[in-house]
Amino acid sequence: MMHRKGPAAALAVTAAALVACGSSANTTPGASATPPGSASAEASASSLPSASLAVATFSCDIKPGAGLLPNATPKPGRIVATIADIESSTGLSVNTSVDISIISGYTQCRYDIGQGGQLDITFLNSSAQSSAELAKTKQQNLALHDRGCNGCSITGMTPLSELGPDGYKATSDGDPVFGSITAGTYFEVEGVKLKDVRVERLALLIAGKLGGGSSPSLPPLPTPTPS
């Protein structure tokens, strides 16, 4: 997939790569991606009521000194996964962090972690559209954060009861993807060059914090390795 960049240096060009992959700043959840610059895209953008653009309910925790965009700071919104949460659940250190939200209605956070690993955490900001977007994920085999990507897909999507009745696990280019709707919020966590259990632990932690319940029981971390 064109928008995945493992090494930290490559994260600086994330936004450009996402656009190349078909993302559009005027795309809203539930709408099909249209190539930027086309007549239909321009018409759609001009007719889209500003009130329909979902408010960024969620925000990314930007590690001080590690935001790769100019003057990167957390945007207003709820931070569900803090840097401390990510490091404790995965057992790896966060090296760099950046908000790479491109598609309207989604908050997407990217973290370069460990030795060459990467985490993408995506939240759908509108709870009213959670069920519809989960249905689209299942029908189109398309990860939540890949809504604007042409040619992207997930495979092997299976239920994961540990994440609740809507929880699931899948793979994207061989990398683990975990997602669920918890307390009305649809979220997804994907790891690149990371062991499944590290990504699952973070997904469970996020689900627990969204649900407002007690801390979830997490599977044990793997024997320390680079990923």
The pLDDT value given to residue 224: 67
Query: Which residue ranges make up each domain of the chain?
Result: 8-211
The pLDDT value given to residue 216: 78
Residue numbers in the chain where pLDDT is lower than 50: 1-3, 5-28, 30-54
163 contacts 189 by C-beta, under 8 angstroms: no
The pLDDT value given to residue 29: 55
The pLDDT value given to residue 71: 60
Distance CA 227, CA 222 (A): 9
- Full-model pTM: 0.77
Distance CA 8, CA 5 (A): 8
Q: What's the distance, Cα to Cα, between the start and end of the chain in Å?
A: 20
The pLDDT value given to residue 67: 66
Q: Which pLDDT tens digit goes with each residue over 113-133?
A: 999 999 999 999 999 999 999
The pLDDT value given to residue 145: 84
Q: What angle do CA 187, 35, 44 make, to 5 degrees?
A: 80
The pLDDT value given to residue 64: 77
Distance CA 208, CA 17 (A): 32
